């Protein structure tokens, strides 16, 4: 009997190697994944194989791409995903937004005080990615990474753990899949402009303005989600 494990396809093996290197930060340049040509040279494979491997990483959420802006590493998942998945079944959008409004303005203030120049640059890139509304999936990935980077830039591991838990609950909650239906093009444009205001405050090291910008941004999100939820209840959707 042959007890040997099935051999991985070359692109699967490359995808796993890339996944590990990205999670460890070994290949990243300010959160950005190197271009296909550089990865092909680094691993000694063809660009076609790199393209297939990157496609796998995009599908599983390890990376996200923005046309004309590059490929970025996505935030890592929280450690206690199973327990958070159970919690996600119990919370409402209001529950999540109440916590976000307490936590994220404080994170924004700390980010403004502690951000390094390269982090300010990355926030600017991510902010600009959220201004492009032609690809909703890519927009949501950029929005997710923008908020995560602010939390990470605050340089408080306990705060970051709290934020990662909030993020995981949002991703697992059943109502999250309906969130994009709540956002009109006008609302998305407004949210993108609020990202710009927030990124500008961080770049100026203005902690009060950063906290205020984050609070206003989250209030816009909260009002949009709750208004849409009430409308659907009234229509029995």
Q: What is the CATH number of domain 10-73?
A: 1.10.10.10
- What pLDDT is attached to residue 60? 76
Q: What is the mean pLDDT of each run of 10 residues along the chain (237 residues)?
A: 56 83 77 88 90 86 74 70 71 90 98 95 90 76 91 94 89 70 84 96 98 97 77 50
Spatial distance between the Cα atoms of 73 and 148, rounded to a whole number of angstroms: 11
Radius of gyration of the chain (CA): 19
- What pLDDT is attached to residue 150? 97
- What pLDDT is attached to residue 68? 67
Q: How many residues does the chain have?
A: 237
DSSP class of residue 76 equals P
- What pLDDT is attached to residue 235? 47
Question: Residue ranges of the domains in the chain?
Answer: 10-73, 81-234
- The half-sphere exposure of 128 on its side-chain side, counting CA atoms within 13 A, is 10
Q: Show the tokens assigned to 187.
A: 């609302």
- What pLDDT is attached to residue 180? 67
Is the domain spanning 81-234 CATH 2.40.110.10? The answer is: no
What Cα–Cα distance (Å) separates residue 113 from each residue in 10, 107, 109, 169? 45, 10, 7, 28
- What pLDDT is attached to residue 177? 64
- What pLDDT is attached to residue 20? 82
């Amino acid at each position: 009997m042959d007890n040997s494990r099935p051999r991985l396809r070359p692109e699967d093996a490359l995808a796993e190697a890339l996944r590990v290197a990205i999670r460890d930060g070994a290949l990243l340049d300010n959160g950005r994944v190197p271009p296909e040509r550089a990865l092909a040279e680094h691993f000694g494979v063809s660009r076609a194989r790199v393209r297939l491997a990157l496609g796998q990483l995009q599908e599983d959420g390890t990376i996200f791409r923005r046309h004309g802006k590059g490929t970025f590493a996505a935030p890592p998942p929280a450690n206690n995903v199973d327990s958070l998945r159970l919690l996600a079944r119990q919370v409402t959008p209001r529950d999540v937004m109440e916590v976000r409004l307490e936590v994220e303005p404080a994170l924004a203030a700390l980010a403004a005080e502690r951000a390094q120049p390269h982090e300010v640059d990355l926030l600017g890139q991510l902010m600009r990615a959220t201004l492009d509304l032609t690809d909703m999936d890519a927009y949501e990935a950029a929005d997710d990474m923008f908020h995560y980077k602010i939390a990470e830039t605050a340089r408080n591991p306990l705060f970051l753990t709290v934020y990662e838990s909030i993020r995981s609950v949002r991703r697992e909650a059943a109502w999250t899949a309906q969130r994009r239906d709540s956002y009109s093009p006008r609302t998305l444009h407004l949210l993108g402009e609020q990202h710009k205001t927030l990124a500008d405050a961080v770049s100026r090291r203005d902690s009060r303005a950063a906290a205020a910008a984050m609070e206003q941004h989250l209030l816009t999100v909260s009002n949009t989600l709750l208004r849409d939820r009430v409308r659907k209840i009234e229509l029995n959707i």
